[in-house]
Amino acid sequence: MPLAAPVASGQTVCVTGAGGFIASWLVKLLLQKGYIVRGTVRNPDDRKNDHLKELDGAEQRLTLYGADLLDFESLKAAIDGCDGVFHTASPVTDDPEKVEQAVLGTKNVIMAAAEAKVRRVVFTSSIGTIYMNPNRSPDAVVDESCWSDLDFCKNTKNWYCYAKTVAEQTAWAMAKEKGVDLVVVNPMLVLGPLLQQSINARYVHVKDVAKAHLLVYETPSAFGRYICVETMLHRGELVDILAKFFPEYPIPTKCSDQVNPKKKPYKYSVKKLEDLGMEFIPVKQCIYETVKSLQDKGHLPLP
């Protein structure tokens, strides 16, 4: 069911896993643009969600729903009556036994969205569903048509990429079956300042990832998958940047594996997202703001 007209503010949208790193910035952006937001969290009264309640516009236009991805009825209650859904909640796991949970949660969200007849679902996936393929040429340009090889993920015990890939493939299959307009954002490692006090395990700025979600939701012609990557960095380049910005910290000058020759990084195409008008925050600014935020939140002691 393609979008017939541009999306305007004032609509009601649901953000799953609203207290997470990406989701928190997305909720902030949605409130800024005038949306009425329903955020699903495990416990609305948990203090770790207080940062959401303190956002501008939250008192008037944000409601937190206690929901569990494995509990269809709790998701249905949050999604019923919504115009759109942003599904950002998905367990980050290296446990093969939890893959089924990620898949079931995805199915439940798509089914609830279908029953609510929402205009569009935007699903937060990962670059991990795209790049894990040993048969790809080092000179290949990686774009949205690429998929990670599930057998390779299993053989290398990369259960994170395996779970993400299976969950995204499930989302596409369910969306087709249920007639849901689905668009997927595939971000790289997400950095940037924290809104919440706790750290979520996560080179692209979190503000850009949130912006990309809103962009593909509001653009009627948006379709398929969208790689969201500002640049590729070798770990050696990362420590060089950190050492220049923060010389007061004992940052190593070499990575432990630097004796090995650098592997040629893949080239990623972000043309689809740029064609929608996306402009990325430079990775150096991203890294600087991440460290400053960790200092401000007390996660990184001042030297």
pLDDT score recorded for residue 171: 97
Contact between residue 232 and residue 264 where contact means Cβ atoms under 8 Å apart:
no
Give the Cα separation of 98 and 79 in Å (integer). 24
* Full set of structural domains in the chain with CATH: 12-232+266-287 (3.40.50.720)
For each of the chain's 303 residues, which pLDDT tens digit applies? 334 334 456 799 999 999 998 999 999 999 999 999 999 999 999 999 999 999 999 999 999 999 999 999 999 999 999 999 999 987 666 778 788 888 999 999 999 999 999 999 999 999 999 989 999 887 889 999 999 999 999 999 999 899 999 999 999 999 999 999 999 999 987 665 555 444 343 368 888 999 999 999 999 999 999 999 887 666 777 778 888 888 888 887 766 655 555 565 668 899 999 999 999 988 788 788 878 878 887 878 887
**Could you write out the three-class secondary structure of 146-189?**
CCCCHHHHHHCCCHHHHHHHHHHHHHHHHHHHHCCCEEEEEECC
Contact between residue 223 and residue 183 where contact means Cβ atoms under 8 Å apart:
yes
Give the Cα separation of 283 and 7 in Å (integer). 30
Give the Cα separation of 178 and 112 in Å (integer). 10
Helix (H, G, I), strand (E, B) or coil at 204: strand
Give the Cα separation of 132 and 167 in Å (integer). 15
In angstroms, the Cα distances linking 152 to 126, 147, 225, 246 are 17, 11, 22, 38
Per annotation, catalytic residue among 28, 107, 164, 211: 164
Instruction: Give the global pTM.
Output: 0.86
Task: Confirm whether 267 is a catalytic residue.
Answer: no
Greatest C-alpha distance within the chain: 57
Q: Which residue reads 């340009």 in tokens?
A: 141
Contact between residue 167 and residue 125 where contact means Cβ atoms under 8 Å apart:
yes
In angstroms, the Cα distances linking 55 to 19, 131, 295 are 12, 36, 21
pLDDT score recorded for residue 243: 82
